[in-house]
Structure 1
Amino acid sequence: MTSSQLELASPPTDAISSLSYSPQTPTLLLASSWDKNVYLYSTHQQPGGCPKKAVEHKAPVLGVCFGKDDAEAFSVGLDGGVMRRVRVDLESGYLYELSRHSAGAKSIVYHPETSTVISASWDSTLHIHDPRSFNSPTTIPLPHKPFTLSLSSTKLVVGMASRALHIYALPSITSLHSQSGQTVNLEPWQRRESSLKFMTRTVACMPNDDGYATSSIEGRVAVEWFDPSPASQARKYAFKCHRQPSAENSNVDVVYPVNALAFHPVHGTFASGGGDGLVALWDAVAKRRIRQYQRYPQSIAALAFSCDGKYLAVASCPGFEDGKEDLVAEGETKLFIRELADGEGKGKGAK
């Protein structure tokens, strides 16, 4: 089978902020947008995909993830300068507010084994909430403003300003359900400084729970392992990517931010998406690029693999690296679904 790609016919009307595939159904995709909506797509129900639901919020939505099933999602965003974290019932469209931070937020994740929702706010806190209850969340103060979250089966990685990273053991996080409404100064399992020299853009955990990858605003990606032993830490590395020769001087590279990272759930390779409009697949173990796809129309804002690894969702829209600070014009935001060919996501040494 050769790879193929389709473009969804009804993308959001403003920039896409995040993508999330259902953990149960590989053709159900959530997209959050600056147009104040969370969109649910059935990507292969009809040619061009089928937009099943658009749930309107009061302000731009910056992050979204599925909950316990295909009918539940959680989102974060901006609401008059106040972050809202809401339960989105994807069947009725009803919004139920779980908690409020005192500033905006971009990142939210859900841990299905413990029914734990974790949101990170620019007020420098994490909120830990059990959506099955109506209790207030537990608050964890952070030393810096958080930009990104990612979960593995046992770890939570928080990427913050000042190149700081906190890694939390999930049992310590989920145990805080019993301390709802309180502020808890939880010590992370590990405190790290990013291997990258500039601001962290995003983080993604490996599906095998071994480590994570981070990206920065200056066209670099770092790959690290959780194991603190000297042997494991000696394996970490960083590399340059998403850099293009300057039109004025071919000897000078234009450096683009790496906006998105996503690990393949089966093969453990990962995709990166940059402000140059390119998506590349990488083998984290072999330290090699597997392939690079054709340039997309605009900057890559978000990436997500389906639960079976068969599909890669790619959000393309104008980015600040193009000097575009106004609202995205109609038709500039595009959402593509790439169907991977057999073996397309495998690493160089995989069988």
Structure 2
Amino acid sequence: MAGLFGAAATASTAPNQTLGDLSKDIALSNPRGQRFRPRLLPAQGNTDFLAVSSWDKKVRIYEIASNGQSEGRHVYEHGGPVFNVDFSKDGTKIVSGGADNQVKVCDLGSTQTAQVGAHDQPVRCVRFFESGGGPMVVSGSWDKTVKYWDLRQQQPAAQIQCQERVYTMDVKDNLLVLGTADRYINVIDLKNPTKFYKTLQSPLKWQTKVVSCFTDSAGFAIGSIEGRCAIQYVEDKDSGSNFSFKCHRDPAQNNVVSVHAVNDISFHPVYGTFSTAGSDGTFHFWDKDAKHRLKGYPNVGGSIVSTTFSKTGNIFAYAVSYDWSKGYQHNTTQSPIKVMLHPVDADECKPRPAVKKR
């Protein structure tokens, strides 16, 4: 078996223990659209809510029952494909951004939608964060800027210029991490939001696809098009703290290894373990502290473009659709388009003690 995190396989990573089961996964009802990006809302009673942005210019909100059954609750539109969506901390609002250069917020109570911001080029990423006890929005764009929006005013509360187009972004507590073209990674302390706390080149040699913050906001993971993931701490620790590893690669055939993009990384909200999902149509759960894989799952039949956990970590949602990694000519009507809900057992994501070497 191939080494995990670049190390030799151990008894704890034997195939019979790490092969995951997809048989209980449930498809979202009537997802429609193209190239989804789901976000799960914190649980309310026995239900969760899932927001899904799509290239068909719509954001759809679904109610997810405890048995995994789903029902559509609301839809709103942008003027172009919607690239990203996020929930406010209290779960009452959704923010979205897309190719129409707009940032929109939908109030779930009233179902009213308003434009709260704009960029000169498409808005690639949006996130809510808390400031002064209230919600604010941060947006990153291909116009190379990051802007902060107070929902009570039309003009940005502040903005910061990046080196290149913003491709990916994540927020946890006061940590904001940005990944741009040319492999720049910018770290911002939201207590001082108009300055970069740190700037570095990605330790991965190829284009950055995703950044995702640790649950304790001590650092972040980076995924790239080359089938690699990097673990990076904000503050310098011992030399072994930051590392990278290979993933989403097919076994060698005639000495040729097929390498697939890491499209998304999601951290489990309780255990702090994380998932990677890729163009190869597989997802995996990993333990960064023990440096081993917890579970790997069979191919789901198409590229996985986006993932998210529910607040309690009992649901893992993954979106399957074409990710353009092979060009427009491979985007056919036969490409699967679906959002799946995977029920998470504790053993799948719970950290396991590393096997001690004798």
Query: What do residues 271-312 of structure 1 show as CA deviations (whole Å, max 9, x unaligned)?
Result: 000000000001011111111112112101000000111110
TM-superposed CA distance for 1:94, in Å, is: 3.1
CA distance in 1, matches of 2:267, 2:208: 17
Q: Which residue of the partner structure matches residue 126 of structure 1?
A: 146
CA distance in 1, matches of 2:153, 2:189: 23
Q: Which residue of the partner structure matches residue 88 of structure 1?
A: 106
Bigger mean CA deviation after superposition, 109-118 or 191-200: 109-118
Q: Which residue of the partner structure matches residue 127 of structure 2?
A: 109
* Secondary structure in 2 matching 1:260: strand
Could you tell me which runs of 5 or more consecutive residues in structure 2 were left unpaired when the two chains were aligned: 1-20
Q: Which residue of the partner structure matches residue 34 of structure 2?
A: 14
State how many pairs are aligned.
329
Bigger mean CA deviation after superposition, 85-94 or 334-343: 85-94
Counterpart contact for 1:42–1:51, Cα < 8 Å: yes
Q: How does 1:191-202 map to 2 (within 5 A)?
A: 191-202=199-210
Q: Of 71, 78, 102, which residue of structure 2 is paired with 1:50? A: 71
Q: Which residue of the partner structure matches residue 176 of structure 2?
A: 156
Question: Which residue identity lines up with residue 111 of structure 1 in the other structure?
Answer: F
Question: Which residue identity lines up with residue 83 of structure 2 in the other structure?
Answer: L
Question: Which residue identity lines up with residue 242 of structure 2 in the other structure?
Answer: K
* Secondary structure in 2 matching 1:162: helix
TM-superposed CA distance for 1:91, in Å, is: 4.6
Counterpart contact for 2:324–2:330, Cα < 8 Å: no
Bigger mean CA deviation after superposition, 164-173 or 85-94: 85-94
Question: Which residue identity lines up with residue 299 of structure 2 in the other structure?
Answer: R
CA distance in 1, matches of 2:200, 2:182: 11
Question: Which residue identity lines up with residue 299 of structure 1 in the other structure?
Answer: S
Identity %: 29
Q: Of 222, 242, 262, which residue of structure 2 is paired with 1:236? A: 242
Q: Of 213, 220, 223, which residue of structure 2 is paired with 1:215? A: 223
Counterpart contact for 1:13–1:330, Cα < 8 Å: no
* Secondary structure in 2 matching 1:344: helix
TM-superposed CA distance for 1:228, in Å, is: 2.5
Q: Closer, same or farther in 2 for the Cα pair 1:71/1:209, shift >3 Å?
A: closer
Counterpart contact for 1:55–1:90, Cα < 8 Å: no
Could you tell me which runs of 5 or more consecutive residues in structure 1 were left unpaired when the two chains were aligned: 174-185
Across the aligned residues of Structure 1 and Structure 2, the Cα RMSD in angstroms comes to: 2.2
Q: Closer, same or farther in 2 for the Cα pair 1:89/1:12, shift >3 Å?
A: farther
CA distance in 1, matches of 2:333, 2:318: 19
TM-superposed CA distance for 1:100, in Å, is: 1.1
Counterpart contact for 1:32–1:63, Cα < 8 Å: yes
CA distance in 1, matches of 2:329, 2:58: 20
Query: What do residues 22-47 of structure 1 show as CA deviations (whole Å, max 9, x unaligned)?
Result: 13546111110001110111122777
Q: Of 76, 80, 85, which residue of structure 2 is paired with 1:59? A: 80
Query: What do residues 47-70 of structure 1 show as CA deviations (whole Å, max 9, x unaligned)?
Result: 741111121222110000012543
Q: Closer, same or farther in 2 for the Cα pair 1:51/1:328, shift >3 Å?
A: farther
Question: Which residue identity lines up with residue 64 of structure 1 in the other structure?
Answer: V
Query: What do residues 302-342 of structure 1 show as CA deviations (whole Å, max 9, x unaligned)?
Result: 00000111110000112223444576638821100111113
TM-superposed CA distance for 1:13, in Å, is: 2.2
Counterpart contact for 2:322–2:335, Cα < 8 Å: no
CA distance in 2, matches of 1:19, 1:87: 16
CA distance in 1, matches of 2:35, 2:181: 23
Q: Of 282, 289, 302, which residue of structure 1 is paired with 2:286? A: 282
Counterpart contact for 1:12–1:39, Cα < 8 Å: no
Q: Which residue of the partner structure matches residue 178 of structure 1?
A: none
Counterpart contact for 1:159–1:203, Cα < 8 Å: yes
CA distance in 2, matches of 1:78, 1:275: 23
